[in-house]
Structure 1
Amino acid sequence: MKAVFVDNYGLMDSTKEKEAFAKEGITFVDVNVQNDEELLAHCKDADAVLVMLYKFPRQIVEQLEKCKVIVRYGIGYDNVDVEACSEKGIAVCNIPDYCFEEVAGHAAALALDCLRQVTLRDRHIRKGEWLFGGAGKYQVRRFSTLTYGLCGFGHIARQTAQYMKGFGFDMIAHDPYLADEVFEQNGVRKVSMEELCKTADIISVHVPLSAETRYLINKDKFAMMKKGVIIVNTSRGPLINQSDLLDAMDAGIVKAAGLDVLETEPLTDLNDRIFQYENVVLTPHFAFHSEESFEELRDKVIASAVTVLRGEIPKNAVNKKALTGK
């Protein structure tokens, strides 16, 4: 059997994967495909495919002749056509439980950076501008006077809530898929999406990307928000209409934003409109990372692939019901 890692691009030494698969009698191949033709050349006869960000649309999936499993290095799996995989009997696995602390901590860090103007003040100092006290692009507020809103209340959002409650924020959250008890157990008040927009001073986005949630935060939502709101996104870029976000900043609705994810990644065009905004703090889809989380991720990717190749469907197969009927 053969397992192919299609888009390492030098991010890591894949010796761990090679040795782990070898113990199972599986040949491991680490490649850096540049286009679909190269992808199919390596994966057409693969039993397992490991992927970070490369896209697997239906037209690619249908040409995978032997594939039994595609495993995504990460939580999101919007780069894989799950329906097409289910039709071909291919299990699609993500790793939904490996970086709660890291992403929650990063969301908290971006929020605190914007609230206290850490990066903004650093930028001015490096230009020779010593902005003392209240001088600056927007005013700083005391944490205990502010409402912190979580859009989505899964594991990462709940961990974020625990971090931020310690600073004295009034915590609210919106998630239509969870029972009231989940909010009560975490000491967070459940609100509607409209109330979240109207009352939160900080809105941190924590929902998966799907057809339903694409551009969840758009001009209509920004129109409902309090003037001077701060936006944080550590989930997926297309959850927020980036053009609408920048328009809302121009209008004075959003006073700062902390973004680990963007509509288009990687962002390499230095003429992109977003670089005109010194009150936007950017990081390169990095929230998931720590030494510990990355090793945990790799271990769980290997285990997921091996489980499927042994003839079992693991609990983290997102299409388990479609494949097994239960």
Structure 2
Amino acid sequence: MSTITSEKVKTIKTLNNISESGLKVFKDNYTVDNDNENPDAYLLRSFNMHTMEFGNNLKAIARAGAGVNNIPVDKCSEQGIVVFNTPGANANAVKELVLTSLMASSRNLFAGVNWTKTLAGEGEQISKLVEAGKKQFVGKEIKGKTLGVIGLGAIGALVANDALDLDMDVIAFDPFISVDAAWSLSRNVQRAMTIEQLFANSDYITVHVPFTKDTGGMFNEETFSIMKQGVHILNFSRGELVNEKDMAAALESGKVGKYITDFPNENVLKMKNAVPIPHLGASTKESEENCAIMAARQVKEFLETGNIKNSVNFPNASLPYTGKRRVTAFHQNVPNMVGQITSALSNFNLNIADMVNRSRGEYAYTVIDIENNVNGDIIPNLEEKINQIKGIVKTRII
């Protein structure tokens, strides 16, 4: 047996401008090297990685934000690369913009400001023109109206709670609400038993769910028919949640009074009563810093201990790190994988001090601390032996 005498320096590569507050997380035994073609981890925001090839040293990719459509997640899973995101880090920023847009659109503020700017050059007549023209922008107050919130993750829960403070009635739908979200939600938020119930009873609807095969196009001609006349719909999640042809028709007929979206495109810009926002949801200095710090901490924790939190492709798994030699293995979620891994350890006369195994869909993750390897000795061929087990994706010994 040989012994480690110094810890290998880990390389981080950024693919977008990442806040310095986040990069400062990487101190001793780390280097940020954007010329390295085979880093230990990537940090990015919106950079498109779908055409990239990954080196055999790559262990993690962290998106400083929530959405990961720009990352080839399935490919990463097949190669045992953990993909992290930062749910909740930008929640306050998005919440503030949702509520701002809710009030501003209800009062026709955006259209009113644009019209007022057209009066430039009218000189002393501006005051009279304003008084004569303001009646076209008469809006409505949100107090006493009903807000429907679809999705009660970090953002949805904040929106629901703050809307109550604005004296709105709030009804929410989320069949997969987490325990943490449930604890943070006000008891005054009404529960919708079905999404149809929410559609039928809301004056305003805000959606906070990811884009999946089940949620794509969830706002369409059929669902619009359930809603109140003149309903306002706010979409700060994904443009693909809306059938844009049906939305254009609903806006034209007045069935939908306003469509406020953070995802403008050619179709949206042509819609009557659409309010296109240039993807500003998380665009605050505070949000960018929070996301960068959270992404960096998750990568650092994984590289140093193997613990996973907020992965989108592998299960969350955590075991207190005590300094013992640690074996981690990504593998297919099939019977007897853990038994085969522990058998491989026993063949090297290694005792298991602690372990955790978690599964997620087709994949699982096992972390094992070795009791009688406290001096940090390297076990020759151990990683190779575990990798020979059918169904193992990637093994790492920490």
Shorter-chain TM-score range: 0.7 to 0.9
CA contact (8 A) 2:150 2:173 kept: yes
Displacement of 1:305 in angstroms is 1.8
Match of 2:43 among 30, 38, 50: 50
Aligned residues: 298
| Residue in structure 2 matched with residue 6 of structure 1 by the alignment | 15
Any unmatched runs of 5+ in structure 1?
32-41
CA contact (8 A) 2:93 2:282 kept: yes
1:324 is aligned to 365
* Cα distance in structure 1, aligned partners of 2:64 and 2:11: 18
Offset at 1:74?
A: 0.4
1:132/1:186 CA distance change after superposition, 3 Å: farther
Q: Which of 201, 213, 219 does residue 221 from structure 2 map onto? A: 219
Q: Which residue of 2 aligns with 1:282?
A: 276
Letter in 1 for 2:15: V
Equivalent position amino acid for 2:250 in 1? A
Q: Quick one: distance in 2 between partners of 1:234 and 1:205? A: 7
Deviation readout 1:214-273 (Å, 9 max, x if unpaired): 2222232222221101111112221222332222111211111221234xxxx5xxxx24
My pick for the range that moved more, 198-207 or 208-217, is 208-217
Once superposed, what is the RMSD of the aligned Cα atoms? 2.8
Could you give the per-residue CA deviations for residues 6-46 of structure 1, whole angstroms, max 9, x where no partner exists?
133xxx6x55555543x233331347xxxxxxxxxx64x22
AA aligned to 1:182 is: A
1:26 paired to 2:30: yes
Q: Which moved more, 1:228-237 or 1:302-311?
A: 302-311
Quick one: distance in 1 between partners of 2:110 and 2:240?
A: 24
Alpha-carbon shift at residue 278 of structure 1 (Å) = 6.4
Q: Are the structure 2 counterparts of residues 56 and 223 from structure 1 closer, same or farther at C-alpha, using a change threshold of 3 Å?
A: farther
Cα distance in 2 for partners of 1:280, 1:207 equals 21
Percentage of identical aligned residues: 25
Q: Pick one of 49, 57, 63 that aligns with 1:66.
A: 57
Could you say if the C-alpha distance between residues 198 and 16 of structure 1 is closer, same or farther in structure 2, counting changes exceeding 3 Å? Answer: closer
CA distance in 2, matches of 1:209, 1:309: 29
- Equivalence for 1:308: 302
Q: 1:66 to 1:107 in 2, by over 3 A?
A: same
Distance 1:86 1:302 in 2: 20
Is 1:295–2:295 an aligned residue pair? Answer: no
Letter in 2 for 1:226: K
Partner SS for 1:160: helix
Which amino acid in structure 1 is aligned with residue 289 of structure 2? E
Counterpart Cα distance in 2 of 1:251 and 1:278: 10
Residue 106 of structure 2 corresponds to residue 115 of structure 1:
yes
The 3 A distance-change label for structure 1 pair 18 and 75 is closer
Give, in angstroms, the shift of residue 69 of structure 1: 0.2
| Counterpart mapping for 1:116-265 below 5 A | 116-128=107-119, 130=130, 132=133, 134-136=135-137, 140-178=139-177, 182=182, 185-191=186-192, 192-262=194-264
Could you tell me how far apart the structure 2 residues matched to 1:60 and 1:218 are? 35
**Greater helix percent: which structure?**
1
SS in 2 for 1:247: helix
Counterpart of 1:143 in structure 2: which amino acid? I
1:231 and 1:120 mapped to 2: Cα distance?
17
Post-superposition offset of 1:104: 1.0
Whole-Å separation in 1 of the counterparts to 2:307 and 2:153: 24
Change in 2 beyond 3 A, CA 1:179/1:283 = closer
Supply the distance in 2 between the matched residues of 1:301 and 1:125 (Cα, whole angstroms): 43
Letter in 2 for 1:113: A
Instruction: Give the distance between the partners of 2:215 and 2:79, measured in 1 at CA.
Output: 26
Higher strand share: 2
Residue deviations 1:52-92 (CA, integer Å, cap 9, x gap): 123344x746x442210010010122322333322211111
How far apart in 1 are the matches of 2:207 and 2:274? Answer: 16
Contact 2:143 2:167 in 1 (8 A): yes
